[in-house]
Amino acid sequence: MENIDALKDEVAGAIDGAADLNALENIRIAELGKSGRITSLMKSLGQMAPEERKEAGQRFNALKNTVAKLIDARKIVLEEAGIDARLIEEKIDVTLPARPEIQGAIHPISQTIDEVISIFGEMGFRVAEGPDIEEDWYNFTALNIPLDHPARQEHDTFYLNAEKDGQRMVLRTHTSPVQIRTMQVQEPPIRIIVPGRTYRCDHDATHSPMFHQVEGLVIDKSTHMGHLKGCLIEFCRAFFGVDDLRVRFRPSYFPFTEPSAEVDIGCSFEGGTLKIGHGDDWLEILGSGMVNPKVLENCGLDPTVYQGFAFGVGIERIAMLKYGIPDLRTFYDSDLRWLRHYGFQSLDVPSMVGRSSLGGAS
Ligand code: PHE
């Protein structure tokens, strides 16, 4: 029986000395595995005399349990040591300089469209869209611009090659055709804004062959000029962030509205710099009017039942005014230095006023 104690001491010593999990596993196999030493002892019980077997059985079992426990305990120690070693070895050097992260910016056009949507969204307008390549009928005829109308020439239209039936598609010269498309499919009341690309053959510091407009359309049974004025005054003040901004409605002409008005906002050009909301100069910013009854008829709406108003705003124009961008062509140059200066951070949630730009223009 001393042999058993000696064996226990020997195995305990080996377990204690196991340098890693592999060595420990080898010990477990050598002692407790299928043909391990302690396993063989257990097997030898079968050949013993009954009175001998009882005592030996208890001792062998105790030995087996002790060794199993020692192995488990050593295993935990070795595993923890392994984790500690990895923590030391794999530690992060926080003194390393950070990898430069290239931060994108939101283009002022997208930003401005978001702002406009947010302002009109709060007034209950929804966003509608239409195709850039448009039928002549939607872009002109349905809007009361017949074939011989001078406005057709003024629009400097890009025409596509004629189709088989002689029809020529156009790149829409304004977002107004979406008025028609909406009235054709939606029962009033209608309250939409239409942000989108528009095209005219024009190119200088304030014109680009492709530019953006936001159209607005309201149709209901009792909509009148007071609604048009209230809505657009509210928009101008919210967009430019000037609560008492002066807004002027100047009689104008568009074939698709009657009466028509151009909208000016109060500003000053003192010392060569434009200040919106100060001084007694005026700056034109959008076109508007009461929807011409002929346009309602062209869309199948009864003008004795329905009236409404419409407006069109040039996005680049109001973005240039609000953010002090001097040349319209730079919007499309894809110059990263320009974008870094005039762009917006992505977490800059669209709101009506008081936004901050990446580069300081405001
Ligand atoms: N479509 C006009 C333009 O492009 C703007 C406008 C829209 C005017 C709606 C009145 C009503 O100039």
Atom of ligand 1 nearest to the CA of 314: 4
Q: Per-residue pLDDT averaged across 151-155, rounded?
A: 73
CB atoms within 10 A of CB 82: 12
Where does the pLDDT of residue 203 fall: very low under 50, low under 70, confident under 90, or very high at 90 and above?
A: confident
Residue 173 CA: nearest ligand 1 atom is 4
CA 56 vs CA 10, 39, 49: distances in Å: 19, 13, 10
List the residue whose alpha carbon is closest to atom 7 of ligand 1: 312
Query: Average of pLDDT values for 328-353?
Result: 79
Structure tokens at 121: 């969204």
Identity at 264, one-letter amino acid code = D
* Confidence band, pLDDT 50/70/90 cuts, at residue 347: low
* Confidence at residue 354, expressed as pLDDT on a 0 to 100 scale: 40
Indicate which residue's Cα is closest to atom 2 of ligand 1.
Answer: 312
Q: How many residues does the chain have?
A: 362
Q: For the chain, what is the mean pLDDT?
A: 90
Task: Compute CA distances 260 → 82, 254, 263, 290, 310, whole Å.
Answer: 81, 6, 10, 7, 9
Q: Which percentage of the chain shows pLDDT scores above 70? A: 95
What's the rounded mean pLDDT across residues 2-27?
90
Specify the residue with its C-alpha closest to ligand 1, atom 5: 312
**For residue 69, what pLDDT band results from cuts at 50, 70 and 90?**
very high
| Range scoring the smallest mean pLDDT among 171-175, 271-275, 315-319 | 271-275
Report, as an integer, the average pLDDT of 165-181.
Answer: 94
Residue 357 in this model has a pLDDT that exceeds 50: no
CA nearest neighbour of 127 among 37, 217, 208, 248: 217
pTM above 0.75, yes or no: no
Mean pLDDT of 73-89: 91
**249: CA distance to ligand 1 center in Å?**
14
Longest Cα–Cα distance in the chain: 125
Per-residue DSSP letter, 98: P
